[in-house]
């Protein structure tokens, strides 16, 4: 089937059917059978699609149905066989320690031809392929396992140990939850739908994620692959523009259309960074110019455990393609026209690679400014009398405030750039805040991103505040809506900011210093000689075995010299629970040899170490693993990158005046509502107040492709079920064995760790959490699958408030290089299938140069789910939930407080700006079904959304009215707007889609409609 049809089905829920003439006699019966298959996947056909499918001729309909079912299966993950290690899951072994001891004894002492070390029976059979383990069928019944029961590796095809058996199931408590059903519609104009989707993606204000990019490429290829004349005059996202130009350059190569494409590219390039984005995308790289991070992993935590035949695998660096001569000359001419020297320094690694293909010094006379820019980038020294030397001196004379020549003793000359950022920092350093504001106004996006800093530096000086406000007002019309919305939202609550105390700041520094000392000291894997490393591995394995045997009553207490921090560092080394010291979160479990997050985590391993540094958890609140955590005023950063991660620092900022915050909020509201007023009018706008908890889409380029469409940071109700089932599926790469682990950490209301459920602890509190077993390889085509059941009421009864699921790459293979890796959440049925496609609530891909993903946080007391889609930093080998427990506590609490604190623009804000600018009447709907009609003011809409009830029982929709409705789900649209509406009515929903005659729009599309008429040259 055409790839375009797949994109239309996934994005619009509509299917194209090419059927003419009379329907076959058995058409209705055949459609009924097809609907039965679709119902098992949570889908049904609407009336029009059912009728069209019934007219399909017999030779075509089977192929069409196979494609439809396969595409739906792929959307939810049912296109893969989901077979866990324990076939009887959720009936997994209750005594994980006994299982571990049996596995370890078999691994260490089983010999060919010898009796079983566990039961004394003759084992029989050959070693398993590929792991070589000898397995006793009596001790490890083959019908219970889908892989080697000793190491968890998938076995080669034809291995006699594993028979073909039907998966067994154990009935659990009955779950009364209706199956969510989605209706598939008929698409009668696929080309028109493709054009509409293409326009929606191109006009988005923010950069696109991987899935959106792939869909856009299909849409462009199906409509206009080798031309750019269809582009709107303004493409808001520069990364999207770079992709479109790069694709067109490839498609038009060696054709008569190439000169026109190249000319249009030059017309649309406005900065050197625009050029770099295009050339990098042309070579298959990320148009965001984000390069894979390279670390020296030789002494990273856990590296001593890495098998010698499994070298580290990293995300490859893109190689710059050879550039046609016409493209090279066009690029150099573009660089020669602008002031490109500083722009090249923004992305030096990218430009140095591109320069190898551009050869900027070959024709210095033709492109002198481009040559000087590369000379500054490379630090080139050249003779003053040379063509390049003359160009450097001429440019420095023309721009003395930005380019500074440097003479060297050997008679050569080089050039240095004074960047715009250095001038701004100089103004701040000298106390010239109005001067800093004037400089930042030259780049409006930068001014708005640093608005908090400017207001803070201005203090109570009315003249300085007035200058900042004036600069913000003058530049607002040139700034993207993402930046405006983020700047206003980040000021929320800043008038009440509380600084961390001096004691807390000192405790953080001391804990980090202790982490550095520990990382460089004798504890953990040595970085000097291999002998201590080997002994550490042995000690870790001995510790794990000792603890398991002790739990079975087979050995005495742990000797006093045993280091509990290494108890779980060996591979599958323990089935015990987390170490908790005096009720504090346990230290990062595993080896520590890096002063990063693992070293910081280790700093709080024992109270003795913390007390030695003067920063004990009992003395200063808010220290978790040597970093700021719950209980300390702190600030959360979201660094730029290919994935979303965070960094937390103690709050050192002072408050900002409430009047200044209100002024910025009013300025943003007026600007964005004014932009919305350029669009068509509505007679009525109805806004669901629940949208105040749904953040607007920001940084979607780093979001995981997902089924449900939940915005990052959105807080949703937990489905009303007894048990939630997490699932994970992946396949090995061509180069490496891949071992991913599905785990879940449990925390109390104060974020103190209560335990976890993972491969080392298959059960938590008996049946409160149950793991399906650890698979350690995933050869195609079967791959590997892990499940984890969470019994919500049992967990809450154990004192668990927060459950934090996490996916970890034990073998440290980054998610980005995996060809197949996804996870999700489903609502299992009592006695039903282990994986039920109809009951998949969420499915998301694992992506990015990351090895740890925290997709969500569950609040079991308030029955809320926070969608985080957050990657966590992690170096080394052997990642586990025990090792990163403190890191999870910090990250989960930071995310919950950040998004619940209103520090992000919400869908309520988006709907408010649209309603104020476009609607004649505005109504806010409350959770109890009442309504409040409000004046055209974004502030009034926010105020009404905060109330629990309103004076109106319903809303009257005039006949023929064009309505804007904003709701959390498509199923809520009819409840919010009863009665018929006119064509042209628009429905903004988070999940689901409204039916006819509503025009469905996404939050990203609505945000894109608020793009400025004039694009900000600074991005």
State the CB neighbour count (10 A cutoff) for residue 985.
Answer: 22
Give the rounded distance of the alpha carbon of 173 from its chain centre. Answer: 34
Q: Where are the beta strands (DSSP E) in 689-768?
A: 715-717, 723-730, 740-747, 753-757, 763-764
Give the three-class secondary structure for 587. Answer: coil
**What local confidence, expressed as pLDDT, does residue 620 receive?**
65
Token pair 């996804």: residue: 822
For 435-479, the pLDDT digits (tens) are 999 999 999 999 999 999 999 999 888 899 999 999 999 999 999
Domains delineated in the chain:
421-497+654-664 (no CATH), 680-694+905-1009 (3.40.50), 714-867 (2.60.60.30)
Listed residue (882, 894, 895, 807) closest to 605, CA to CA: 882
Q: Where are the beta strands (DSSP E) in 177-286?
A: 182-186
Per-residue confidence band for 524, with pLDDT thresholds at 50, 70 and 90: very low
Rounded CA gap, 1009 and 740, in Å? 41
Rounded CA gap, 512 and 514, in Å? 5
pLDDT at 331 over 60: yes
pLDDT at 502 over 70: yes
Listed residue (501, 499, 753) closest to 620, CA to CA: 501
Q: In sequence order, which residues have a C-beta less than 8 Å from that of residue 307 and are 6 or more positions away?
A: none
Q: In sequence order, which residues have a C-beta less than 8 Å from that of residue 501 and are 6 or more positions away?
A: none
Output b/e per residue, 386-425; b: 16+ Cβ within 10 A: eebbbbbbebbeebeebbebeeeeeeebbbebbebeebbe
Rounded CA gap, 342 and 376, in Å? 9
What is the rounded average pLDDT of the residues 300-324? 86
Give the three-class secondary structure for 958. Answer: coil
Average pLDDT over the chain reads: 84
**What local confidence, expressed as pLDDT, does residue 178 receive?**
67
Return the H-helix or E-strand segment holding 919: strand 919-925
**What local confidence, expressed as pLDDT, does residue 182 receive?**
86
pLDDT at 535 over 80: no
Instruction: Check residues 397 and 510 and name the one with the higher pLDDT.
Output: 397
Listed residue (330, 401, 344) closest to 373, CA to CA: 344
State the CB neighbour count (10 A cutoff) for residue 496.
Answer: 9
pLDDT at 485 over 70: yes
For 349-393, the pLDDT digits (tens) are 999 999 999 999 998 999 999 999 999 999 999 999 999 999 999
CB 384 within 8 A of CB 415: no
Rounded CA gap, 421 and 346, in Å? 11
**What local confidence, expressed as pLDDT, does residue 557 receive?**
41
Q: Where are the beta strands (DSSP E) in 411-558?
A: 412-417
SS3 sequence, 121-163?
CECCCCCCCCCCCCCCCCCCCHHHECCCCCCCCCCCCCCCCCC
HSE of 266, CA atoms in CB hemisphere, 13 A: 18
Give the three-class secondary structure for 647. Answer: strand
pLDDT at 529 over 50: no
DSSP tag of 929: S
What is the rounded average pLDDT of the residues 658-676? 94
- Residue 765 corresponds to which tokens in the numbers above? 């509190």
pLDDT at 556 over 50: no
Can you list the alpha helix ranges (DSSP code H) found in 283-386? 325-337, 341-346, 348-358, 368-378
Give the rounded distance of the alpha carbon of 290 from its chain centre. Answer: 15
Using the Cα atoms of residue 71, residue 72, residue 74 and residue 75 in order, give the sign of their dihedral.
positive
Rounded CA gap, 237 and 1007, in Å? 12
Rounded-to-10 torsion of CA 82, 87, 89, 92: -140
State the CB neighbour count (10 A cutoff) for residue 975.
Answer: 12
CB 115 within 8 A of CB 122: yes
State how beta strands 682-688 and 963-969 pair.
parallel
Give the three-class secondary structure for 180. Answer: coil
Q: CA-based Rg of the chain, rounded to a whole angstrom?
A: 31
CB 995 within 8 A of CB 715: no
CB 650 within 8 A of CB 615: no
Bond preceding residue 20 cis, omega within 30 of 0? no
**What local confidence, expressed as pLDDT, does residue 845 receive?**
94
What is the rounded average pLDDT of the residues 34-61? 89
Per-residue confidence band for 939, with pLDDT thresholds at 50, 70 and 90: very high
Per-residue confidence band for 867, with pLDDT thresholds at 50, 70 and 90: very high
Rounded CA gap, 37 and 202, in Å? 36
CB 404 within 8 A of CB 375: no
pLDDT at 605 over 60: no
**What local confidence, expressed as pLDDT, does residue 621 receive?**
67
386: left (phi over 0), alpha (psi -120 to 50) or beta: beta
**What local confidence, expressed as pLDDT, does residue 518 receive?**
61
Q: What are the residues facing 691 on neighbouring strands?
A: none
CB 81 within 8 A of CB 779: no
Helical pair 462-475 and 451-458, crossing angle rounded to 10 deg: 160
Q: Where are the beta strands (DSSP E) in 603-681?
A: 623-624, 627-628, 634-637, 647-650
38 vs 31, 52, 62, 994, CA distance in Å?
A: 10, 16, 14, 20
For 787-806, the pLDDT digits (tens) are 999 999 999 999 999 999 99
Rounded CA gap, 75 and 824, in Å? 11
CB 402 within 8 A of CB 433: no
Q: In sequence order, which residues have a C-beta less than 8 Å from that of residue 428 and are 6 or more positions away?
A: 436, 453, 457
Listed residue (433, 485, 438) closest to 454, CA to CA: 433
**What local confidence, expressed as pLDDT, does residue 607 receive?**
34
What is the rounded average pLDDT of the residues 811-825? 93
**What local confidence, expressed as pLDDT, does residue 206 receive?**
85
Give the three-class secondary structure for 5. Answer: helix
Listed residue (721, 303, 798, 287) closest to 533, CA to CA: 303
634 vs 453, 619, 630, 890, CA distance in Å?
A: 16, 18, 9, 11
State the CB neighbour count (10 A cutoff) for residue 490.
Answer: 17
Return the H-helix or E-strand segment holding 241: helix 238-251
Return the H-helix or E-strand segment holding 945: helix 938-945
For 728-749, the pLDDT digits (tens) are 999 999 889 999 999 999 999 9
**What local confidence, expressed as pLDDT, does residue 473 receive?**
93
CB 1017 within 8 A of CB 997: no
pLDDT at 685 over 90: yes
For 99-108, the pLDDT digits (tens) are 889 999 988 8
CB 519 within 8 A of CB 593: yes
pLDDT at 594 over 80: no
Rounded CA gap, 304 and 858, in Å? 35
Q: In sequence order, which residues have a C-beta less than 8 Å from that of residue 59 and are 6 or more positions away?
A: none
Rounded CA gap, 13 and 187, in Å? 9
First CA to last CA across the chain, in angstroms? Answer: 39
pLDDT at 544 over 90: no
Tell me what percent of the residues of the chain surpass a pLDDT of 70. 86
For 111-159, the pLDDT digits (tens) are 888 888 888 888 666 789 898 898 888 889 888 899 999 999 999 887 8
Rounded CA gap, 821 and 816, in Å? 9
Tell me what percent of the residues of the chain surpass a pLDDT of 90. 54
């Amino acid at each position: 089937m055409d790839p375009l049809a797949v994109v239309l089905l996934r994005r619009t829920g509509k299917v194209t059917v090419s059927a003419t003439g009379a329907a076959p006699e058995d058409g209705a019966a055949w459609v009924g059978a097809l609907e039965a298959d679709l119902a098992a996947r949570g889908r049904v056909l609407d009336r029009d699609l059912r009728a069209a499918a019934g007219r399909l001729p017999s030779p075509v309909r089977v192929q069409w149905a196979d494609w439809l079912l396969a595409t739906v299966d792929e959307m939810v993950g049912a296109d893969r066989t989901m077979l866990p290690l324990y076939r009887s899951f959720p009936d997994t072994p209750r005594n994980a320690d006994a299982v571990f001891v049996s596995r370890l004894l078999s691994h260490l002492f089983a010999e060919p031809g010898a009796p079983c070390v566990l039961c004394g029976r003759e084992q029989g059979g050959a070693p398993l392929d590929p792991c070589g383990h000898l397995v006793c069928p009596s001790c490890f019944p083959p019908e219970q396992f889908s892989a080697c029961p000793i190491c968890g590796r998938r076995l080669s095809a034809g291995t006699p140990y594993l028979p073909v058996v039907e998966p067994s199931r154990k009935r659990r408590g009955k779950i009364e939850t209706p199956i969510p059903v989605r209706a598939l519609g008929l698409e009668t104009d696929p080309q028109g739908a493709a054009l509409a989707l293409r326009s929606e993606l191109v006009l988005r204000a923010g950069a696109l994620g991987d899935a959106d990019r792939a869909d856009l490429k299909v849409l462009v290829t199906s409509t206009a692959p080798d031309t750019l004349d269809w582009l709107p005059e303004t493409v808001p996202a520069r990364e999207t523009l770079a992709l479109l130009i790069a694709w067109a350059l490839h498609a038009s190569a060696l054709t008569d259309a190439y000169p026109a494409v190249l000319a249009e590219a030059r017309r649309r390039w406005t900065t050197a960074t625009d050029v770099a984005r295009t050339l990098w995308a042309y070579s298959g790289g990320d148009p965001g110019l984000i390069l894979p991070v390279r670390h020296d992993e030789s002494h990273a935590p856990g590296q001593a455990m890495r098998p010698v035949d499994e070298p580290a695998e990293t995300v490859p660096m893109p190689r710059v393609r050879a550039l046609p001569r016409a493209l090279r000359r066009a690029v150099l001419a573009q660089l020669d026209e602008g002031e490109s020297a500083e722009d090249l320094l923004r992305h030096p690694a990218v430009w140095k690679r591109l320069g190898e293909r551009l050869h900027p010094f070959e024709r210095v006379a033709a492109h002198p400014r481009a040559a000087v820019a590369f000379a500054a980038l490379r630090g080139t020294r050249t003779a003053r009398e040379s063509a390049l030397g003359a160009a450097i001196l001429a440019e420095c004379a023309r721009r003395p405030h930005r380019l500074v020549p440097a003479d060297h003793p050997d008679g050569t000359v080089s050039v240095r750039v004074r960047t715009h950022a250095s001038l701004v920092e100089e103004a701040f350093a000298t106390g010239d805040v109005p001067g800093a504001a004037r400089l930042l106004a030259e780049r409006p996006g930068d001014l708005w991103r640093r608005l908090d800093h400017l207001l803070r530096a201005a203090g109570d000086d009315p003249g300085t505040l007035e200058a900042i406000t004036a600069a913000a007002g003058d530049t607002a019309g040139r700034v993207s809506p993402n930046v405006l919305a983020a700047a206003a939202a980040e000021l929320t609550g800043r008038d009440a900011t509380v600084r961390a105390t001096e004691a807390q700041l000192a405790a953080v520094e001391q804990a980090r210093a202790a982490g550095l000392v520990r990382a460089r000291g004798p504890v953990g894997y040595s970085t000097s000689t291999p002998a201590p490393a080997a002994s550490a591995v042995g000690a870790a394995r001995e510790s794990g075995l000792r603890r398991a045997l002790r739990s079975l009553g087979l050995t005495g207490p742990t000797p006093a010299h045993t280091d509990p921090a290494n108890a779980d560092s060996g591979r599958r080394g323990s089935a015990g629970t987390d170490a908790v010291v005096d009720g504090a979160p346990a230290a990062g479990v595993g080896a520590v040899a890096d002063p990063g997050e693992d070293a910081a985590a280790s700093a709080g391993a024992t109270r003795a170490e913390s007390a030695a540094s003067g920063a004990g958890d009992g003395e200063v609140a808010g220290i978790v693993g040597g970093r700021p955590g719950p209980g300390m005023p702190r600030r959360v950063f979201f660094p730029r990158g290919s994935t979303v991660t965070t960094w937390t620092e103690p709050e050192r900022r002072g408050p900002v005046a409430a009047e200044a915050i209100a002024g910025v909020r009013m300025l943003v509201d007026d600007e964005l509502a004014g932009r919305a007023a350029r669009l068509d009018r509505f007679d009525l706008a109805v806004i669901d107040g629940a949208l105040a908890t749904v953040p607007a889409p920001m940084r979607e380029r780093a979001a995981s492709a997902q089924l449900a469409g939940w915005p990052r940071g959105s807080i949703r109700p937990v489905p009303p079920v007894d048990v939630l089932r997490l699932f994970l599926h992946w396949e090995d790469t061509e180069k490496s064995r891949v071992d991913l682990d599905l785990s879940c950490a449990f925390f109390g209301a104060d974020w103190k760790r209560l335990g976890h459920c993972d491969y080392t602890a298959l059960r938590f509190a008996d049946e409160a959490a149950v793991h399906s077993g650890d698979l350690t390889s995933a050869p195609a085509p079967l791959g590997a699958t892990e499940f984890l059941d969470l019994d919500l009421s049992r967990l809450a009864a154990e004192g668990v408030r927060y459950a934090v699921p996490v996916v970890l790459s034990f073998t440290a293979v980054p998610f980005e290089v995996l060809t197949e890796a996804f996870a999700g959440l489903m609502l299992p049925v009592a006695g039903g299938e282990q994986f039920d496609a109809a009951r998949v609530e969420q499915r998301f891909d694992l992506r990015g140069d990351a090895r740890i993903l925290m997709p969500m946080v569950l609040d079991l007391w308030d029955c809320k789910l926070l969608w985080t889609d957050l990657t966590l930093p992690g170096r080394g080998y052997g990642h586990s939930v025990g090792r990163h427990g403190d890191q999870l506590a910090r990250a989960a609490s930071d995310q919950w407080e950040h998004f619940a604190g209103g520090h992000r623009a919400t869908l309520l804000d988006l709907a408010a700006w649209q309603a104020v600018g476009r609607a004649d009447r505005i109504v806010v709907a409350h959770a109890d079904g009442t309504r409040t009609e409000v004046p055209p003011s974004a502030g009034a809409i926010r105020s009404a959304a905060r109330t629990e009830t309103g004076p109106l029982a319903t809303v009257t929709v005039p006949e023929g009215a064009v309505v804007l409705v904003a709701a959390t789900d498509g199923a809520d649209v009819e409840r919010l707007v009863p009665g018929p509406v006119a064509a042209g009515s628009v429905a903004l929903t988070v999940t689901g889609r409204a039916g006819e005659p509503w025009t469905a729009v996404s939050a990203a599309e609505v945000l894109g409609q608020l793009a400025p008429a004039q694009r900000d040259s600074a991005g």
